[in-house]
Amino acid sequence: MELQFNADEIAFREEVRAFITDNLTEEMKQGMLRGGYLIRDHVIEWQRILNKKGWGVPHWPVEWGGAGWSPIKQSIFTEELQLAPAPRPLSFSVYMVGPVIIEFGSEVQKKRFLPRIANSDDWWCQGFSEPDAGSDLASLKTNARREEGYYIVNGQKTWTSYAQYADWIFCLVRTDPTVKKQMGISFLLIDMKTPGIIVRPIQTIDGGHEVNEVFFDNVKVPVENLVGEENKGWDYAKFLLSAERVNLARLGVSKERLQRARELAARTPYQGRPLLEHAGFRTKIAALEVELKALEITQLRVLSAEGQSHGAPDPASSILKVKGSELQQATSNLLVQILGPDALRRQEDAFDDWSSMITANYFNWRKVSIFGGSNEIQKTIIAKSILGL
């Protein structure tokens, strides 16, 4: 495996940087710097700018709008978006349900949904977790009963990110309660405007409204909205979650946060000189840089192996998820440490545009080691599939 970028890949990175510089508005960039949360209008506008360029869904097959890039170029592209920082594509649409429809959906579903996903004409959310089915997702109880050309769906989903904006939700539902729990699950595409769907907000620890509860009360879903085969949904979910865990490494996000830590430390006085000049602090920065480099190399190893697994989830993606989430938390923790007592300031009293959001980000990012499959579950996968324990 080659661990250095070749001339073509270096030139590609410069092309991506130039495009972002020329097209990313200051309003979008500042929105990301002030918190990094998804701002709906920014996400849609930026996705359409990328799609017009042919970069909206570069990892998809060319026939459905993909750019034909290698996995390495796809990684470079994602990292540069995170470094800018630019609004990230809506993961639920572009990285989750889109690839599932491409791999397992009908031709009708592909023609109906994929162009709209690529251009952000539809906003999707993910209906997986339930009050009693989080890390043990296969224990889900939301059920779908088939009758007269419809599935009648009843149940509840929780921690549903951005459901308040969603046009559609992709759901795991139980269609056969008599078999082993993983074997009786199906994958449905549900229009959020369907009667019987109720969305209730959940306020997160940082005071934001990012997640929701979603209730289904005799919701009628056309049978043609079933992806693939009935009771095969667990296979499709594993396919989706493997791709999600690779993206959850968010290498560029941690790099961008570490750069912000340097900038903030350079103008934060400590014992008569900038904090950045103190050996103890530089040691913390260096330790995180080493871990980021190790994560980057691991990500390159996973990417170089793509295409050889024939669609099977790569257990090494669990390493990316575990370490990537730990580093995201570590960089947010470092920023709070730099602020010290100033981390408790109200937003209107903050000394620059983005420092006021550091504490909110710190609290919000406690979740990254939980979603996408908790780190404890991922360590079990690593132990079994990689270490053979």
pTM: 0.87
Question: Do 356 and 33 contact (CB within 8 A), yes or no?
Answer: no
**What residues have CB less than 8 Å from 101, skipping those under 6 apart?**
109, 110, 113, 114, 227
Write down the pLDDT at residue 308.
Answer: 56
Write down the pLDDT at residue 344.
Answer: 72
Q: Which position among 244, 256, 263, 348 bears the catalytic label?
A: 244
Domains delineated in the chain: 7-89 (no CATH), 124-231 (2.40.110.10), 248-385 (1.20.140.10)
Write down the pLDDT at residue 386.
Answer: 83
**What residues have CB less than 8 Å from 263, skipping those under 6 apart?**
none
Nearest Cα to Cα of residue 173 among 162, 184, 159 = 184
Question: CA angle, 169 as apex, 93 and 360 as ends, to 5°?
Answer: 70
Known catalytic membership, residue 244? yes
- In tens digits, the chain (389 residues) has pLDDT values of 556 789 999 999 999 999 999 999 999 988 887 765 678 999 999 999 999 999 999 999 999 999 999 988 999 999 999 999 999 889 999 999 999 999 999 999 999 999 999 999 999 999 999 998 877 889 999 999 999 999 999 999 999 999 999 999 999 999 999 999 999 999 999 999 999 999 999 988 877 788 999 999 999 999 999 999 999 999 999 888 766 656 668 889 899 999 989 998 998 988 999 999 999 999 999 999 999 999 988 888 877 776 555 455 567 778 888 999 999 999 999 999 998 887 776 554 444 556 667 887 888 888 888 877 788 888 888 888 888 87
Q: In this structure, what are the phi and psi dihedrals at residue 298, rounded to the nearest 5 degrees?
A: -65, -40
Question: Do 173 and 186 contact (CB within 8 A), yes or no?
Answer: yes
Strand intervals (E) in the chain: 124-127, 143-147, 150-157, 168-174, 185-191, 197-202, 211-222, 269-270, 273-274
Q: Alpha-carbon distance 326 to 319, whole Å?
A: 11
Question: Do 348 and 295 contact (CB within 8 A), yes or no?
Answer: no
Question: Do 324 and 251 contact (CB within 8 A), yes or no?
Answer: yes
The identity of residue 149, as a single letter, is G
Q: Alpha-carbon distance 321 to 373, whole Å?
A: 9
- Residue for token pair 């800018």: 84
